[in-house]
Structure 1
Amino acid sequence: MQQLLIVDDEQHWVDSLAETIDWRSVGIGGVFKACSGFEALDMLQEHAIDIVITDIRMPEMDGLALIERIQVEWPNIKCIILTGHADFDYAKTALQHKVSNYLLKPAEDEELLAAVSRLVQELQQEIEQFTSNSNALRTLQQNLALIKSNLLQELISVKAYPLDKWAEKKTLLGLPFHVDEPYALLLLRIEDEHAPSPSDSLIQYAVCNIAEEVFSRYFHIWHSTDQYGYLVFLIQCNHADSDSSNHNYQLEHSAARLQHNVKVFLHRQVSILFSQWHPFPYGISQTYENVVSAFRQKVGDDREFFMQVPDQVAKNDMQAITSLYEPPTLAHLLDLGRWGDVEDKLTLIFKELSQPKYESQEHLLEAFFHFSSVFIFFAHKNNRNLSTLIGGEFYQLEGQTIRSIRQLEIWAHQIIRLLQNDFIKDMKLTRLETVVKVQQYLEHNLEGDVSLQTIADHVFLHPSHLSKIYKLETGEGLSQYLFRLRMEKAAFILNQHHLKIYEVGEKVGLPNTPYFIKLFKKHFGVTPQDYRDRQGP
């Protein structure tokens, strides 16, 4: 269902169109109303509007100026002009702004419904065209390398990847890797004594190109970069050969050539570790962790290391709590202010922690210290002391008095609630400060430029964001407040000073005297002169 916005400075006409016509019958799910061009812009910032019906002659901003703004900021919105002025120049200008229809008041309901129905159908066709396979494939091709890299990062970070999901991704991305066929993982570390620099990404790109050239004779190869800066290559034979010894020989030979070519052509030393063969796509994350562990335990700071890593035989059941470190991490979700997802993440962590293999005191401490580090980092990053934010709960950090998973779970959720409450309170204070600054600016600059863009620049916000937070905090649109402020200040001046009517209009930013009188009468029910006369000498 599409959304419709009706704009006219005559409130009764807007209400009549919005409430007496069966818009749902032509695919309109929501109808919004505005009584000025500026109020319409506020509505457009706050809601996903698809079709606008507007009058031409309106105060402050006429319909053509409104449509011009719409075409710049929301080019996909369809516009209909509904006016009582059968003026050729208006129609000509409307056509220049790509107005979809030009109707004369009073238009019959059937005429309006037919015009809107046609635009609804046009919008549906545009959506279908936009989401067509050709456009999707074009976008896919433009980002194919990045999408493939992200998918490999996902494979090495999750415990198990659903086969149906893999089949879908394989077809979509054109990946030549087959289920149950052997694969190996190769990790490459570029040795560099210097600090990271922008040229590092170029070196990585060159290494990947060399790898594709070296391995392509025998293997399909797929590469990405992990969180440690290692280049990760997933490798699978590109020909039918059931002899695993041949696989190993070809892999070892190709990896050695890669190491040699990088040194010769790029003048860089690299260390290469590669895994045993396993059926694809099973155990990829465990295979990856095994090779990373070998880098840490067997290679360390040694350079130009080269070896095949044996499958690790677990000496005991001790292992890290995976969900603590799987993206998105708790720290990342807190940083984004996604409080609902933070609660879900905690639930996931404690579900894993409740398994028998995590019953040890060390696992309890692992989770406790991880939470403590995340909470302290979040507080300090936001210029807060955690002890001030959480009060009495801070003693748990000092005394480490957590003795059970349930106790830790209650404590962690309590800290999250305290952090959230402080974050929301701070956000509201920031918004209120913005509202005060806006109102002060308008009070002192009514005679000057008080456009939404100028006001937004004054408080260093985007216009759409400013409109949203102002309406959220005050319950009143910014254009409505500006209008009310002008009328109230005009009434005050009329009561306290003996300025001429046109001077009063200029003082409140409305130098067009007839227009000022019209607005004043609309607001107070009397003209400015009558208002002054009633106040007495």
Structure 2
Amino acid sequence: MRNVLIVDDEKFVRISVMKCIDWHAHGFAEPRDAGNGEEALQILQREPVDIVLTDIKMPQMDGMALIKAIRDLQLDTEIIVLSCLNEFDYVRQALQLGACDYLFKPTMLPEDILQALVNAMNKINQREQTNHMIHSLSRKAYEHQRSLTESFLWEWIDGKQWTATELLDKTSELQMAWLNGEVRVMRLAADDLAACLSSKFKGNAYLLKYAVTNIVDETLQPYCSHYLLSRTPDEYVILFTLHPHEKQEQELLQQMCAQVRDNLKQYLNFAVAAALSKAACTLADVREAYLETAALMQPGDSIAAAPEYRYEIQEAIAYIDAHLGENDLGLERVSAHIKISKNYLSRLFKEVVGVSYIDFVTERRLEKARELYRTSDLRVYEIAEKVGYADWRYFTKVFKKTYGHPISDEE
């Protein structure tokens, strides 16, 4: 049923219009009426009105002022103007303001009024159908893009290789250019999924995921651009980059993670363990950061963060120590062995160990050389060979530059 409001300062006109139509038979509720624009505006502000039939000349607030007020309130109300023959200029202005039709009061018949009302109702129905279709298409487009985005990110996390150009094209296509900045990973795992599902969501995992997504969005929006991934209702992965004005500080990152966890507990009774990747990484290194949070994840209230020497560094150091005698111990070889990118490994050494990869390997070689000189009868050229230097003269120069004395002075 459509709601109609009749506005006219002449009561007999209002009563005549109200009595000349079988409202229910044509899809209308019993109409309301008002004696001027002010009364009509009060009704419009407290009740839904689909169609207004209004006179133009009225005391206190006339029809033109009422039409302007309706448009200022941005109401989707159709307006039919009731006019006299000498008011055509007003009618023209009313139509310019968005009135959909007009009727000449001296000659209008019940069928004229009904036809104008039906036309207005059809216009409303068409607008609502169009809006519904647009909303439906927008929703489908959003869901399709989200599906493509999740597939792309999970493929990457699961180990699919993309070139730098392909990554740039993909993130641009999916309108996620922010992922080309410094990306971090936050990982959440349910402590007791069954309890949460039974107490809040009646076993509906889809509703839980929807609620978690909303809580995460509202919590993180002030701090970062982010994207939430979930393949199962008990685990959520959040990729995010801090807004430019936010500093890359561990305290802020811990605060964000704590707020997400606390809000999930408070509003959803959803207790989660949380882990946060320590080193900022590019999208190309998301897989490594994801695996890092998986290794850190522990149940309980604390937020796990990457230790000073993470598993990638430990693996790299073990491999370096086992191959110190080989002079081709480059970054690319070691990163390939532990299955991460060389750029990511290089950054980890600088951020976690505090020195560049090359400086670390050099230091490791020289420390091994000192140990061999003190504990064996090997000659200098043999020691140089044992720690990866093909040219023993170059080895002695590096040693003296590093320690300030030749290796022969070692006790």
Rg comparison, structure with higher value: 2
Same fold (TM over 0.5): no
What is the TM-score normalised by the length of structure 2?
0.43
What is the TM-score normalised by the length of structure 1?
0.34
